[in-house]
């Protein structure tokens, strides 16, 4: 995301985004006289800050903003016979008329809805590890293990496990439940893939949670226990409030992970199917660009995805900023 706005010329000391309110006000008050003295600085010294940020700004402008502009511009040109010709909003009209694309956007919504599950699982498991359930040392390393496997390997493993005549269905059959077409039923496939994604990535979130627990005051938990609080109550009233910043951080990183790194799993496990039910925008872009030979339409889809990510990113920054203020 391009965040390359230059520093506002307000003196050398600019406040960070997480700066506390009261000191910020104090600094604002102190700026007045300093700005006056600024004008007496020699010209070279006044230009120095800009010169110093120039390389960074240039890198962002040349390698981020410029290609972004090219991409957006490209999305207003045609494909195939109309290659290179301006076509206005045609690609966007085609995009939203394409059930595959709308399905992929709906799946983004589904991911957002499944986010609490993706955060709760590592949170809960980290709680158990923290509370030293028997064997917690083993679990700590075992839980992290899938995080080091590549999505392709994980996808291949679960392709075998979840195949119609695979071990999972054999197990279900043994307890009298009929076989489930995990990757062939459009109502189930997306959940199966998201489930595998959560399994594959929760180890990282677990580590973050454990780090958060390390900052938790153990005496609070002890006190709650002495007062006779049950485990659910300890979790609800002591652990969750104590970890609010950690939870917010995990929410943000998990969301980013779900939106940007499921391509490998989708490619290996479902290829967007069955019935196009597991398309995500990323996969759709790849599919239109390469398989269908419609790069301009793919650019339009990228632009829409960029817009969505921008909104999600802004919302996340807002959440993080608020979390910073609460302290």
Interface ranges with another protein (CB under 8 A): 4-6, 8-9, 57, 61, 65-66, 69-70, 73-74, 77, 80-81, 83-86, 100, 162-165, 179, 181-186, 270-271, 273-276, 286, 289-293, 295-296
Integer Cα distance of 286 and 269 in angstroms: 16
- Pick 45 or 327: Cβ nearer another protein: 45
Q: Where are the alpha helices (DSSP H) in the chain?
A: 21-38, 43-60, 66-74, 90-97, 99-130, 136-144, 151-162, 167-174, 189-214, 218-226, 231-234, 240-242, 244-260, 263-269, 281-286, 295-326
Q: Shortest Cβ distance from residue 69 to another protein (Å)?
A: 4
CA distance 45 to 97: 56
Nearer to another protein, 209 or 283 (CB): 283
Q: Residue 220 Cβ, how far from another protein at the closest point, in Å?
A: 48
Beta carbon of residue 250, minimum distance to another protein (angstroms, whole number): 32
In whole angstroms, the minimum distance from the beta carbon of 214 to another protein comes to 42
CB-count exposure of residue 148 (10 Å: 0-12, 13-18, 19+): exposed
Radius of gyration of the chain (CA): 25
Is 79 or 203 the residue whose CB approaches another protein more closely? Answer: 79
Report, in Å, the least distance between residue 187 CB and another protein.
9
Cβ 193 to another protein shortest distance, Å: 12
Other C-beta atoms closer than 10 Å to the C-beta of 294 total 19
Q: Which is nearer to another protein, 165 or 227 (CB)?
A: 165
**What is the smallest separation between the CB atom of 245 and another protein, expressed in angstroms?**
33
Q: Which is nearer to another protein, 141 or 291 (CB)?
A: 291
Q: Find out whether 255 and 112 touch, Cβ atoms under 8 Å.
A: yes
Strand partners of residue 77: 86
Rounded CA gap, 171 and 200, in Å?
A: 22
- Which residue, 100 or 320, is less far from another protein as judged by CB? 100
How far apart are the C-alpha atoms of 11 and 88, rounded to whole Å?
A: 44
Q: In the complex with another protein, which residue's Cβ is closer, 4 or 257? A: 4
């Amino acid at each position: 995301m391009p965040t390359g706005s230059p520093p506002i010329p307000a003196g050398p000391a600019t406040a960070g985004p997480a700066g506390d309110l009261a000191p910020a006000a104090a600094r604002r008050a102190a700026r007045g006289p300093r700005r006056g003295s600024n004008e007496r600085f020699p010209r070279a010294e006044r230009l120095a800050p800009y010169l110093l940020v120039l390389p960074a700004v240039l890198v962002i402008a040349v390698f981020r903003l410029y290609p972004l502009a090219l991409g957006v511009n490209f999305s207003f040109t045609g494909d195939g016979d109309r290659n290179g010709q301006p076509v206005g909003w045609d690609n966007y009209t085609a995009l939203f008329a394409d059930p595959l694309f709308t399905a992929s956007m709906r799946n983004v919504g589904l991911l957002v809805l499944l986010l609490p599950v993706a955060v709760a699982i590592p949170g809960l498991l980290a709680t158990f590890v923290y509370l030293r359930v028997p064997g917690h040392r083993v679990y700590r390393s075992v839980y992290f293990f899938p995080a080091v496997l590549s999505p392709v390997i994980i996808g291949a493993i679960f392709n075998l496990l979840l195949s119609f005549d695979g071990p999972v269905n054999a197990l279900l059959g043994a307890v009298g439940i009929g076989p489930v077409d995990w990757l062939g039923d459009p109502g189930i496939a997306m959940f199966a893939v998201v489930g595998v994604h959560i399994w594959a990535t929760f180890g990282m979130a677990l580590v973050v949670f454990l780090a958060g627990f390390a900052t938790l005051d153990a005496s609070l938990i002890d006190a709650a226990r002495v007062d006779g609080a049950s485990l659910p109550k300890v979790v609800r009233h002591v652990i969750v409030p104590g970890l609010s910043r950690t939870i917010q951080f995990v929410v943000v990183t998990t969301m980013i992970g779900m939106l940007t790194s499921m391509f490998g799993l989708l490619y290996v496990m479902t290829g967007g199917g069955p019935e196009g039910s597991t398309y995500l925008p990323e996969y759709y872009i790849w599919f239109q660009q390469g398989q269908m030979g419609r790069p301009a339409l793919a650019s339009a889809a990228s632009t829409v995805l960029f817009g969505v990510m921008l909104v999600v990113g802004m919302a996340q920054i807002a959440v993080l900023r608020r979390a910073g203020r609460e302290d």
